[in-house]
């Protein structure tokens, strides 16, 4: 059995199919862990969700900001953007089943010593705390409180963790960390104003994984969400968003069971993609 982590697909099902062929994936033998943003901006969102849903327990996913956006639009809590391509899902005959499946995916997963999220983990959280907070959001996603949760999910504040946070503020900061975060300041407060690579980041904005007091430093964190990052190989974090949507690569990271304690032993596999969007726009 092989375990594969796959970065942001964003509705590019042709690329996903070619990558699965390249890694010789078999749902009867192997497992897929998707790192979020399965949908939106690309042309084949419906096919992506159908494919992953058909894999059953052999495919598990963490949710990204675009996946939550699909849920918000489906509930009428958010208007569709000009750049959205999710109408194929919303018009599908099995729309309700697909959205139900999406609601029952995860905000974080912990596989061996590898913690999986879409965007990041706040420096104040241990791996255990991360999973507990993910569970709080997952419970709301799967409950009758979904509409209220989605209605209050958007916004950038609060941007710094406090264990005393409750209600909508608590859930919002958890969701923002898991699905939107790239940079924090030295005190661990999230800053969403800059999205590009760290080379030209404004003074005081630090990639979340470089904060010196991050409590998940002894856990390998795998994430997507940041196609401009181009992160050099390192032992504690790995970014699997290689810009498939923009004509980069769709990437998978293979983790053998015996290697889960050391992501440096993992094998990274890529396929080149045709751009679904013009990177200059």
Cα 34 to chain centroid distance, Å, stands at 7
Cα distances (angstroms) measured from residue 280 to each of 186, 239, 273, 275, 277: 32, 22, 16, 11, 9
Q: What is the mean pLDDT of residues 12-32?
A: 95
pLDDT(241) > 70: yes
Alpha carbons within 13 angstroms on the beta-carbon side of residue 32 total 30
Give the per-residue pLDDT at 112: 86
Name the pLDDT band for 263 (thresholds 50, 70, 90): very low
Give the per-residue pLDDT at 228: 92
With a pLDDT cut of 70, the percent of the chain lying above it is 94
pLDDT(41) > 60: yes
Give the span between the Cα atoms of 171 and 99, in whole angstroms.
21
Q: Is the pTM of this model over 0.85?
A: yes
pLDDT(73) > 90: yes
Q: What is the pLDDT of residues 45-56, one digit of tens each?
A: 999 999 999 999
Q: Average pLDDT over the chain, rounded to whole?
A: 92
Q: What is the mean pLDDT of residues 110-122?
A: 95
Give the span between the Cα atoms of 200 and 218, in whole angstroms.
28
| Residue with more model confidence, 53 or 233 | 53
CA-closest candidate to residue 140, choices 167, 119, 118, 161: 167
In the chain, the domains with their CATH numbers are 3-272 (3.60.21.10)
Give the span between the Cα atoms of 115 and 223, in whole angstroms.
9
CA-closest candidate to residue 18, choices 270, 193, 226: 270
């Amino acid at each position: 059995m092989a375990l594969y982590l796959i970065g942001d697909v964003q509705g590019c099902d042709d690329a996903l199919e070619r990558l699965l062929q390249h890694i010789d994936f078999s749902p009867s033998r192997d497992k897929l862990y998707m790192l979020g943003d399965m949908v939106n901006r690309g042309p084949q969102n419906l096919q992506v969700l159908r494919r992953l849903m058909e894999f059953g327990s052999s495919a598990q996913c963490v949710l990204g900001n675009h996946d939550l956006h699909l849920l918000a639009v489906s509930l009428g809590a958010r208007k569709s953007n000009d750049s959205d391509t999710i109408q194929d899902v919303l018009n599908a005959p099995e729309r309700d089943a697909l959205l139900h499946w999406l609601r029952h995916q995860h905000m974080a997963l912990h596989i061996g010593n590898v913690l999986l999220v879409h965007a990041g983990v706040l420096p104040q959280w241990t791996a255990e705390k991360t999973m507990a907070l993910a569970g709080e959001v997952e419970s709301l996603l799967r409950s009758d409180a979904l509409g209220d949760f989605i209605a209050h999910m958007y916004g950038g504040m609060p941007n710094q963790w406090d264990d005393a946070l409750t209600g909508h503020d608590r859930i919002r900061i958890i969701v923002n960390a898991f699905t939107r975060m790239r940079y924090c300041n030295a005190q661990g407060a999230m800053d969403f104003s800059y999205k590009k690579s760290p080379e030209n980041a404004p003074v005081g904005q630090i990639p979340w994984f470089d904060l010196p007091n991050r409590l998940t430093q002894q856990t390998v964190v795998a994430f997507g969400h940041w196609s401009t990052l181009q992160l050099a190989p390192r032992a504690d974090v790995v970014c699997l968003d290689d810009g498939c949507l923009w004509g980069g690569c769709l990437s998978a990271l293979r983790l053998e069971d015996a290697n889960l304690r050391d992501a440096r032993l993992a094998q990274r596999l890529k396929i080149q993609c045709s751009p679904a969007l013009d990177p200059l726009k």
